[in-house]
Chain A
Amino acid sequence: MTIAISVRNLGKQYQIGAAETRFRYNLLRDVLVDTVYAPVRLAKAAIGKSDRRNNQNFVWALKDISFDVEEGRVLGIVGRNGAGKSTLLKILSRVTEPTEGTVSVRGRVGSLLEVGTGFHPELTGRENIYMNGAILGMKRTEIDKKFDEMVDFSEVGQFIDTPVKRYSSGMYLRLAFAVAAHLEPEILVVDEVLAVGDAEFQRKCLGKMNDVAQQGRTVLFVSHNMSAILRLTQESIVLKKGEMIKRAPTPEAVDFYLASGQAGSGERIWEADEIPASSAPFRPIRLLLKDRTGKIVDTVRSTEPVTVTWEYQLTAPITGLRVGMYLNTMRGEYVFTAFDTDDAKQYEQFGARQPGRYISCCTIPADFFNEGRYTLGVNASSFGVRRYFMDESAISFNVDISGAPGMQWPEIRQGPIRPRLDWKIEKLD
């Protein structure tokens, strides 16, 4: 077999400051101030009081990664947020450069992470297909040839000459995906695209990916969705904190991933500077997501109950307090809202709370979640008086549905919940 992708000792170092620029732009002023202080820092370093910042400014997003992928294989990449999955794909698709190591890639790399890039709302569907195709590296003749196929796939039909700003988000997404899906690269990388779109669309995406794989092209598939990984890949690698900790046939790799401690990610800790001053006297400390055994998890098995624990501090007494959570799907639909003093008796006892540290804790029963990713938001308020604190996306987590009802049919089940109902079947005559 020929090797399609060969990765050797790949490493990528980021400056922590660089990540922050998304929120606070590097200002020339800061650099000027920094420059002025440089001699002071040097002097401090010279007398042994070295500046801590120098060592802490860099992190390795990927470190010493080596693997080969044979042509025509579908490789799954799993790991929790920040494990380096996206960085790896970005290096493979040449968006960013590695800091060390080499990669050789045989053929064109196309990725579904670029769905809709370069789309302009004022341009029509037709114009955007050409624009987007060119951005993805297609030749004009190539786009001409596949144009009808793309329009068919996207199902936008007669709206192809309407500006895309008039499209529904579903149409927009389908059109964008149609272009990316018809790029026909030798190597396809897919990253989390399945988190968007409706179930029907997701099914289509997975189908397309499957086609690609069957045509003998190489696919790298990154997902938090373990059942999709299991269904679509034969082999997977597991990344943890930038290092490759496992490469194995997918079932084994997924088991290893689910079993290996996910600690830390099913946890949200609020730093002092993340809490607005207006939230006093309420101060959130941390929110934990735990499985049946009490382990902190970011992937929940739908067949097991999960415990949500919110720890917080009151610096002054609050009356009428209710502390609770919202559960959302990744598409932003509310699944439910619940508060710790919903129960009248609880409210009598804890409606007025004295200063001190508290936890509010509840259990979401087994057989509740459907496949996919959910976001948990938190809220502390006194009804009709004041909202002290709110964080609409405190934690997000994935649900693994192995063992859920209806798994014998490999399909995506509609709806945000997947209850195990007590069906009775009777024969009437």
Chain B
Amino acid sequence: MTELTKHEPTTIYIKPTKGLAALNLRDLWTYRELIYFMVWRDVKVKYKQTLLGMAWAVVQPIMTMIVFTFVFDKVAKLPTEGIPYPVFSFTGLLPWGLFATALNQGSRSLVMHNNMVTKIYFPRLILPMSAVFAGLVDFFISFIILIGLMVYYKVTPAWGQLWTLPLFLVLALVTALGVALWLSAINVKYRDVNQALPFITQFWLLATPVAYSFSNLSKKAQLVLSLNPMTGVVNGFRWALLGTDTGPDLMFWISVGISLMIFVTGLFYFRSMERTFADTI
């Protein structure tokens, strides 16, 4: 108590917000430790009481890669710009895995933590944000596997543009967060989102050049696919890591634009719905 009297307590004004809500990023900064704790908890709890533990982070993408290799390489014999198919698909699976986890966990985050939402004040943005960041740990573990795969298949990385990789990672996070903001806010009111998520994820995977090569598609197909922000991310990853000819071009920037649009509108939609979360959840 003695400590409390030392500084003048800040006065908080509570009143109904109208129209487009302000983003209130300062509040988010005050609560930055909570983001850290939430991520830490998610990671810590995720593989508790499992036999394989953290190994699941490795098993899942490897199994998918093996299935892809069998179906698309051995059976369908898809061209991969001269890169061994396992490396080719794993490079795509890496950002995809991050995106899929973030999308699923992020979209369910508010509903999953409804006891927090209905009882305590904190910037609600923290929930989808920490769900998205928690996927990063799995991502880095898979990344080590990818390095192993590249060494094994003797694939030389594209040294010249490797530095751009973190930028594509950020793009993947922004995209995932943008979609998660929309879906988590909708999910508060309409639980249809929970039902639709597996389908959305599956459909989205097919609409992203993870298993197949973007460069081998027709111009028309490429244009359609570039409306999908994850196309830009996956292509970017391959370009930065493997030096495929899918470097940033007009279609990439379309992807980026759409991603940013989803993110910014999602942010405002989320903030404007936030005032009723505790009442409707």
Contacts and interface: CB of A to CB of B under 8 A. Distances in A.
Interface in B1-56: 1, 4, 9-17, 31, 33-34, 36-37, 41, 44-45, 48-49
Contacts, number: 123
A27 B193 CA distance: 10
Contacts of B280: 18, 21, 26
Contacts of B119: 95, 111, 113-114, 117
Interface string A1-21: 000000000000011001001
A247 interface: no
A134 B116 contact: no
Nearest to B5: A216
B107 to A, nearest CB: 15
B115 interface: yes
| Residue in B4, B41, B120, B278 whose Cβ sees the most chain A Cβ within 10 Å | B120
B1 A127 contact: no
Given A21-B280, A95-B118, A95-B120, A103 B44 contact: no
Interface in B244-281: 275-276, 278-281
A117 B116 contact: yes
A105 interface: yes
B122 interface: yes
Contact of B11 (A15, A105, A118, A140): A105
A95 B121 CA distance: 5
Interface string A85-123: 000001111111111111111111101011001101011
A111 B276 CA distance: 20
Interface residues of B, number: 40
Contacts of A107: 4, 9-11
A135 B192 contact: no
Given A95-B121, A120-B45, A134 B14 contact: no
Q: How large is the interface on A (under 10, 10 to 19, 20 to 34, 35 or more residues)?
A: 35 or more
B154 interface: no
Nearest to B115: A117
Nearest to B12: A105
Given A14-B279, A27-B192, A216-B1, A134 B121 contact: no
Contacts of A92: 14
Interface string A198-232: 00000000000000000111000000000000000
Contacts of A101: 15-16
A184 interface: yes
Given A18-B279, A120-B45, A139-B33, A98 B121 contact: no
Nearest to A115: B119
A28 interface: yes
A123 B38 CA distance: 12
A131 B140 CA distance: 24
A248 B79 CA distance: 82
B270 to A, nearest CB: 15
Nearest to A95: B278
A58 B45 CA distance: 41
B190 interface: yes
Contacts of B17: 97
Interface of B: 1, 4, 9-17, 31, 33-34, 36-37, 41, 44-45, 48-49, 113, 115-122, 189-192, 275-276, 278-281
21 contacts: A14-B279, A18-B276, A92-B14, A94-B14, A95-B117, A95-B118, A96-B278, A96-B279, A101-B16, A102-B15, A107-B10, A109-B121, A111-B119, A113-B119, A117-B116, A118-B113, A118-B115, A122-B49, A127-B41, A137-B31, A217-B4
Given A31-B190, A134-B33, 10 more contacts: A21-B281, A26-B190, A26-B280, A92-B14, A95-B119, A111-B119, A111-B120, A127-B41, A135-B37, A137-B31
In the A-B complex, list the 10 residue pairs whose CB atoms are closest, starting with the nearest. Answer: A107-B9, A94-B121, A103-B14, A134-B37, A96-B278, A97-B275, A102-B15, A215-B1, A25-B191, A122-B48
